[in-house]
Structure 1
């Protein structure tokens, strides 16, 4: 084997050639989004069990990702290794399930050995291969073609373009099913509760707001000095001005203090009711935290009142958003 010198080899050209070949392969794949694809989607939607994905080698790696994408987008799915299936794991598959078997050649011995059992169980079989005339292609109830003109590997041996095409076809199925189910961002968050996206889509204002005694509040007759002390004690940069029944009359922020200075107000005699901003921007406790963040950013404020009708029930600060991972 003659090994070229790393100093002389054009790595960029080699990388670009791979991308060009794989782009061409994906462009060819478009023709296989046909009635067979629609039949596969309808069969999966009608399935009362789970989608079981199988594949050997590189097809297996793609199959694991495919099953994970299905599961996170509203289509219950899991991966079964064909080799392990022959030694007991096939017991995971029930007649209510549907199997997606992947093999570029369509001649995977491990999968072909399982097909008679799947047929006896009356499990619907979708095969994804690059050869419709292959043994798997002929045995399938529905065949999805993933044929590509060539692999990006210059030897034509390492699965490259074919695995990219398989991955893309799996994504096409998952997204088409997602849309057909009316799967929402909130549904997606329910299967991703531990991630940043889940926090953004599940967390509500009521989960992170300061409530009860932690709310900075004074009555409209309170002195300006007492209001400033309340702002300092609660450390949220504001106080809400409300009556004895917690009905909001206004708001005063530490930023308003500069305005008061310019007004020449007598700090010793002024009441907070004289200098407050009436009303105040409010959000309901049921609002998603990310939506409240959007309100704060659009209004250029660092904190917002949380209210039920006219009653104050909490305050949310930008720092609360940061701590909760919403920002």
Structure 2
């Protein structure tokens, strides 16, 4: 860039800045104003909330949430919360609705309409079509006498709220109140429908939340992928006979003649023998070196319970047993903390022997 047109950064006046203490005070004031607004809205609610909940509970179609601008963004979150807690729900953008998306609306649906003023143009243009379709409206608005308020079957009033913005303009307090009121509707409706933890798990199968809500049977390594040996074998027989391809569990499950779990022999137990250079122990019955009557978790238990056991007792492995006490799988801590795709890329077991004791080859495993 030529010198005559180059921008001199040192010639730009810096913007006015708040001191750190002022920044903190301003942020706290925003939160204080929004908290007061939520308290005010909660105390304004009356029988109209019951009317709205009864209308939603009786809905045999979908709850269609709509709103424009910031209210629309809040509406998307409310629709998502409704859907994740048992109500069929989706968001409909009012401008797109006027250009064809009104075809989504069916008899039996309920519309949840968000508009602070109740006079938002893009929202108002939907009213004749919704009235023609006979779809009831629940309005979240500050003004029950607005056009939206008069068209609604039920009005949930926000009342007059001051925005937390220093200019009093940017939607902040009002959108927070809309969001909280939407949460209240969704969560109370969920309770009215008897929404259970099982239902929640079905709608949230992915991520850490889904993993905690899942059953241990869905996450455990099945018995075919676990190391299992007879309690009557020696330590050496257990080690030699329990090789598994891929990433193995950190423990061998030891069963009696009836197939019931009798104990665990962990990699840590084996390491302790190596550290003590106790070669003779390799030919002793594994029952003398195992963890007898280990902690287990029953088939059908939730992963949240398994994770708590692993964390509280600092276990790395947790056998899963059936009602008869027979092992059906193993929860390994690496399966809990690692992503499935990482497990799929696990290195295979090395085939190079590592000499531990003179004349004894023990194969290293990952």
- Indicate whether the TM-score tops 0.5: yes
Task: Tell which deviates more after alignment, 217-226 or 77-86.
Answer: 217-226
Aligned to 1:170: 182
Per the alignment, residue 9 of structure 2 pairs with none
TM-score, length-scaled by structure 2:
0.77
Structure 1 window deviating more from structure 2 (62-71 vs 246-255): it is 246-255
Distance in 1, Cα, partners of 2:267 & 2:23: 59
In structure 2, C-alpha distance between the alignment counterparts of 1:254 and 1:195, rounded to whole Å: 29
Normalised by the length of structure 1, the TM-score is: 0.86
Deviation at 1:89, TM superposition (A): 1.4
Alignment partner, residue 232 of structure 2: 221
**In 2 relative to 1, CA 316–202 (structure 1 residues): closer, same or farther, beyond 3 Å?**
closer
The aligned residue for residue 71 of structure 2 is: 59
Q: Distance in 1 between matches of 2:18 and 2:293?
A: 72
Aligned-partner Cα distance in 1 for 2:320–2:119: 62
Q: Deviations over 1:232-274 (max 9, x none)?
A: 7685343233245533333333444659999x99536532234
Contact kept in structure 1, 2:66 and 2:92, CA below 8 Å:
yes
Where do residues 198-213 of structure 1 align in structure 2 (5 Å cutoff)?
198-212=210-224
Partner of 1:248: 261
Distance in 2 between the 1:112 and 1:11 partners? 39
Instruction: Tell me the distance in 1 between the aligned counterparts of 2:263 and 2:290.
Output: 6
Q: Unpaired runs of 5+ in structure 2?
A: 1-12, 341-366
Partner residue, 1:290: 304
User: Can you give the 5+ residue segments of structure 1 that lack an aligned partner in the other structure?
Assistant: none
Q: RMSD in angstroms over aligned alpha carbons?
A: 2.9
Aligned pair count reads 321
Between 127-136 and 150-159, the greater mean CA deviation after superposition: 150-159
Can you list the C-alpha shifts for 1:157-203, whole angstroms capped at 9, x where unaligned? 32221111111111111111122222233322322223221122125
What corresponds to 2:321 in structure 1?
Answer: 307
Query: Structure 1 residues 85-94 or 311-320, which shifts more?
Result: 311-320
Q: Which residue is equivalent to 2:331?
A: 316
Contact 1:127/1:142 (<8 A) preserved: yes
Match in the other structure for 1:6? 16
Cα deviation digits, residues 3-44 of structure 1 (max 9, x gap): 995246643343333223222222211123211011101100
1:267 match: secondary structure: helix
Structure 1 residues 91-110: aligned runs within 5 Å: 91-110=103-122
State the 1:92 CA deviation: 0.9
Change beyond 3 A, Cα 1:204–1:250: closer
